Structure 1
Amino acid sequence: MGGAAFLGSGCMTAVTTTVKGVTTTSFQLAGMGDVINTMLTAAVAVLFIKWVGNRFGSLGIVFFPILAGTGVGFLGSLTKPYVSLVTTAIGDVINTFTKLAPYPMCILIAMSFAIGLAGMGSAAAGFGLASTAAFLFWATLKVDKPGVQVAIFLGVIKMMMPNFLRYPVIGIPIALTAAISTLSVPILGMQGTPASGGFGLIGAVSPLAAYNAGFYNVLVLVIVWVVVPFAVGYLMKKIFVDWTKICKPEYFISPAR
Structure 2
Amino acid sequence: MSTDVKREKLSLSQFIMKVVNGSTSGIIVAVIPNAIFGQIFLNLIPTWEGFRVLYELVQIIQLLMPVLVGIGVARQFNLDLIPSLSVGAAAFLGSGNVINNAGMWQLVGIGDTVNAMLVSGIAVWFVFLIENKVKAFVTIAYPTIVGAGAGIIGYLTLPYVSSLTRLIGNIVGTATELQPIVMSVIIAVIFAILILTPISVVAIAIAISLDGIGSGAANLGLVAVVLFMAMGSHKAKNEAGITISIILGGVKAMMPNFFKNLKIMIPVAICSGIMGALAPILNIQGTPASAGFGFAGLVGPLVAYGYLEHSAILNIIILVLVYAVIPFIVCGLTYKFSRDGLKVIKDTDFEATI
| TM-score of Structure 1 vs Structure 2, range by shorter chain | 0.7 to 0.9
Determine whether 1:118 maps to 2:211.
yes
Alignment match, 2:173: 95
Q: TM-score, normalising length from structure 1?
A: 0.73
Deviation at 1:248, TM superposition (A): 2.3
- Give the superposition deviation at 1:179: 0.6
Listed one character per residue, the Cα deviations across residues 160-187 of structure 1 (whole Å, up to 9, x for unaligned) are 1222223221111111101112221121
Structure 1 residue 150: deviation in Å?
A: 0.7
The 3 A distance-change label for structure 1 pair 166 and 223 is: same
Supply the distance in 1 between the matched residues of 2:333 and 2:319 (Cα, whole angstroms): 21
Asked if 1:248 corresponds to 2:352, the answer is no
Tell me, in whole angstroms, the C-alpha distance in 2 between the residues paired with 1:175 and 1:68: 43
Q: Does 1:141 align with 2:239?
A: no
Per the alignment, do residues 199 and 27 of structure 1 end up closer, same or farther by CA in structure 2, a change over 3 Å counting?
A: closer
**Which of these residues, 8, 30, 50, is aligned with residue 62 of structure 2?**
30
The reply to whether residue 152 of structure 1 matches residue 184 of structure 2 is: no
Corresponding letter in the other structure for 2:267: P
Task: Report whether the alignment pairs 1:229 with 2:327.
Answer: yes
| Matched letter for residue 189 of structure 1 | N
2: CA distance, partners of 1:170 / 1:78: 42
- Give the paired residue count: 226
Give the 3-state SS of the residue equivalent to 1:30 in structure 2: helix
Question: TM-score scaled to structure 2, two decimals?
Answer: 0.55
- Distance across 2 between alignment mates of 1:202 and 1:10: 12
Describe the shift of the 1:226–1:6 C-alpha distance in structure 2 as closer, same or farther (beyond 3 A).
Answer: closer
Structure of higher CA gyration radius: 2
Pick one of 240, 262, 270 that aligns with 1:176: 270
* Between structures 1 and 2, the one with greater helix share: 2
C-alpha spacing 1:204/1:64, structure 2 compared with 1 (3 Å): closer
| Structural RMSD (CA) | 3.5
Gaps of 5+ in 2: 1-17, 32-56, 96-110, 116-161, 192-204
Deviation for aligned residue 1:32: 11
Percent sequence identity is 33
Cα deviations by residue, 1:106-135 (Å, 9 ceiling, x for unpaired): 000000134421110010010011011111
Q: Which stretch shows the higher mean deviation, 208-217 or 143-152?
A: 208-217
**Paired residues of 1:197 and 1:206 also in contact (CA < 8 A):** yes
Shift in Å, 1:197: 0.8
Which structure exhibits the higher relative contact order, with contacts defined as CA atoms closer than 8 Å and separated by 6 or more residues?
A: 1
Q: Does 1:199 align with 2:293?
A: yes
- Structure 1 residue runs of 4 or more that deviate by more than 3 Å after TM superposition: 1-13, 25-29, 31-34, 63-82, 86-89
1:5 to 19, 23, 26: 23
